[in-house]
Amino acid sequence: MLETFLQFLFSGITAGAIYALVALGFTLIYNASHVINFAQGEFVMIGGMATVFLADAGWPIWAAAPLAVLLAVAVGVALERLAIAPAREASTVSLIVITIGASILLRGLAQLVWDRNFHTLAPFSGEEPIRVLGASILPQSLWVLGGSLLAVLALGWFFGRTLLGKAVIATAHNRLAAELMGIETRHVMTLCFALSALLGALGGVLITPITLTSYDAGVMLGLKGFSAAILGGMGSATGAVVGGLLLGVVEAMGAGFLSSAYKDAIAFVLILVVLVAVPRGLMGARGAERV
């Protein structure tokens, strides 16, 4: 029984770490602009696909991965400069719709530039599972988990300790006031898209050995990551990780102890219950908005 429970837990942690890593990407752009970037899943896909294709072309992984991440960053910057910045005066909802359009465009481009097959990447430290009390977990899952924790720490440091991070938060709170304080708010948005593309692509590189990747891999990852971010509290980095892990574990336990056919339904019911009880999510900011 313990063995079974542990296996479900490990499965949940594996999936949850992946959701958490994607959820983290939503945090940055949301914090800067209250825009939910629905092309976040596509950043993850670009990171994975570009690494795969560079690796297939003979590049070693330590060179392929950074280059793939750079490509995603370039795409993120281009997206902000070409699509978001010109519509800066539009409402948040319009900007969100633009990101949905961008996600469709990026999927289409990935189909043309690469292909429509699924691809995989060799795990970073072997495929030999680590066994604990009869249950097993893949070393790559620990990489993903480690990546999420590092990202949380980095984000915490960025927003809490650096001037640039504080400028981002100031811009999010009041663009006009931030501009009057001498913050170049235009650059803040570009920076946030670049960083969140970086985070997404890094995640894509880490998770591809487990999940595989294809031009449309971003759709489901984006959706699950978004759910995780909402569950944990949109805008909170710790919340994204807590939400991701919780979502993964609930799915795994639901599939294991109840029914694998309804595991997604079980997870979404949980999200609804949490949102009814705590509308801002588990770790969402509780401070009252000043009107």
Partner 1 sequence: MLGLKNFLAASALLAAGALAFAGAAVAQAPIKLGAVLATQGGPSFLGDPEAKVLKLYVDKMNAEGGIAGRKIELVLYETNGAAADAATFAKRLIAQDNVDFIIGGSTTGETMAMVPEIERAGVPFVSLGGASVIVEPVKKWVFKVPQTDRAAVEKVYIDMKQRAAKKVGLLAGSGGFDKSCTDNARALAKTHGLTVAADETHGAQDTDMTPQWTKIKNAGVDAVLYCGFGASSVVVTKNYAQLGLKIPFYHNHGSASTRWIQGSGAAAEGVRLPAEPVLVARQLPDRDPQKAAGVAFGDAYKAKYNEEPSTFAGYAYDALLLMADAIKRAGGTDKAKVRDALETTKGLVGATGIFTMTAADHSGVDVKSFRMVEVKNGAWRVLY
To partner 1, the closest distance from the beta carbon of 256 in angstroms equals: 4
Write the DSSP string, 103-126. Answer: HHHHHHHHHHHS-SS-B----TT-
State the minimum distance, in angstroms, from the CB of residue 11 to partner 1: 4
x/- map, 233-262, partner 1, by CB under 8 A: -------------------xx-xx---xx-
**Residues 124-163 vs partner 1: string with x where CB under 8 A?**
---x-x------x-x-------------------------
Q: Which is nearer to partner 1, 50 or 189 (CB)?
A: 50
Residue 149 token pair: 């924790």
Cα 231 from Cα 243, distance rounded (Å) = 5
Site for partner 1 in 161-200 (CB under 8 A): none
Site string for partner 1, 84-123 (x = CB under 8 A): ---------------------------x----xxxxx---
Using CB under 8 A as the binding rule, whether residue 18 contacts partner 1 is answered as yes
Biggest alpha carbon–alpha carbon distance for the chain: 62
C-beta closer to partner 1: residue 193 or 226: 226
Strands (E) located in the chain:
130-132, 135-137
In angstroms, what is the minimal distance from the CB of 178 to partner 1? Answer: 39
Q: Count of H helices and E strands in the chain?
A: 11, 2
Closest CA to 250 of 277, 271, 279, 230: 271
The DSSP 8-state label assigned to residue 60 in this structure reads: -
The footprint of partner 1 on this chain (CB under 8 A) covers a number of residues equal to 36
Q: Report the C-alpha gap between 184 and 115 in whole angstroms.
A: 39
Among 166, 175, 186, 263, which residue sits at the site for partner 1 (rule: CB under 8 A)?
A: 263
What single letter denotes the amino acid at residue 18?
A: I
The burial of 86, by beta-carbon neighbours within 10 Å (0-12 exposed, 13-18 middle, 19 or more buried), is given as exposed
Residue ranges binding partner 1 (CB under 8 A): 4, 7-8, 10-11, 14-15, 18, 111, 116-120, 127, 129, 136, 138, 207, 210-212, 214, 216-217, 219-221, 252-253, 255-256, 260-261, 263-264
